[in-house]
Structures are given as structure tokens and as C-alpha cells.
Amino acid sequence: MNLDKIDNRIISTLVKNARTPFRQIAKELNVSPDTIANRFEKLKKDKVILGSTVVLNPEKIGYATIVRFGFKIRPTFSSEMLSTIIKIPSIIIATKLMGEFDVIALGVVKNFDHLFILTETFVQMPNIEKVHVSVWVKTLRLKPEYFII
């Protein structure tokens, strides 16, 4: 897909602040707000823009830390397990990989007991052969413009 100056400006503006009014973007580009609205809808329809979100600070809503889970999954089950893993409460992102693990997931936990329960949930899944857990020990810095949910 070929993106022009207007499309690129819409994207770059909304990445910085997804709540920027179309009227403001239109004024900066010297086009009508309807032009911006139509372009935005086309970018969504073409799946260039997947959505917008609010990025939360996990510590402020009761989570002690972020955890990375690495999974070795029985061959032929990685897509099925990815769909199962992402539905588990506390998991915020999951993806298939090539490398040491077949799937990784990032989750948030409130305390050690919560981490233990979440890990046990994965260990008991029939198609997961191995679960590797890594715990963040420093504050995570999020860059919202690259955070897609």
C-alpha cells in the first residue's frame, strides 16, 4: 500500500496522541476534517491502523511486576496454544516465535502467589512441554507509540 504525505501525517500525529482531533490534523495539513476522517477510516479498513489504546501503568493498578513466559509447545499446537494463552487473565500480549521458544507471553502479576498460580495454569496445559519464567526486577519503561493491543 502506498501512503502519501497526508496518510503519514495522520499516522505520526495519532501515534504521538491518539486523541488528537481530526479538525486539528486537518488544519495543520490545510485539508478538510472530512478528508482526515475518510483517510483514517481507509487506514483502518486497510489494517494499517489496527486500533488505539490507553497504556496503563501496571504498578498503579495493583500489579507488582511484569513477567515473561517462554513456552516450548508440542509440534503442530503452537497456533492453538497461542489462542488459549492470550485469553488467560493477566496475559497482556503473546506471540509465536522462531528460536528457543515457540511462544512468548508478557503478563502482569500482583504478587508471588499470583505468579505461582499463573505458572501452574500453564504447566498443567497438555500441549505445553516447558514453561520458562522471567520476572522484571526494574521498572519497565513503555514507549506508547510502539505499544499495540
Low-confidence spans in the chain with pLDDT less than 70: 138-149
- How many CA atoms within 13 Å lie on the side-chain side of 133? 18
Q: Which amino acid appears at position 77 of this protein?
A: F
CATH number of the 58-144 domain: 3.30.70.920
Q: Which strands sit side by side in the sheet containing 91-96, from one edge to the other?
A: 91-96, 103-109, 65-73, 128-135
Range(s) within the chain of domains with CATH label 3.30.70.920? 58-144
**pLDDT at residue 53 in the model:** 76
Please state whether beta strands 103-109 and 65-73 pair in parallel, antiparallel, or not at all (unpaired): antiparallel
- Enter the pTM of the model: 0.69
CATH number of the 5-45 domain: 1.10.10.10
Please state whether beta strands 91-96 and 103-109 pair in parallel, antiparallel, or not at all (unpaired): antiparallel
Range(s) within the chain of domains with CATH label 1.10.10.10? 5-45
Q: What does the alpha-carbon distance between residue 45 and residue 127 come to, in Å, rounded to a whole number?
A: 35
How many Å is the Cα radius of gyration of the chain?
20
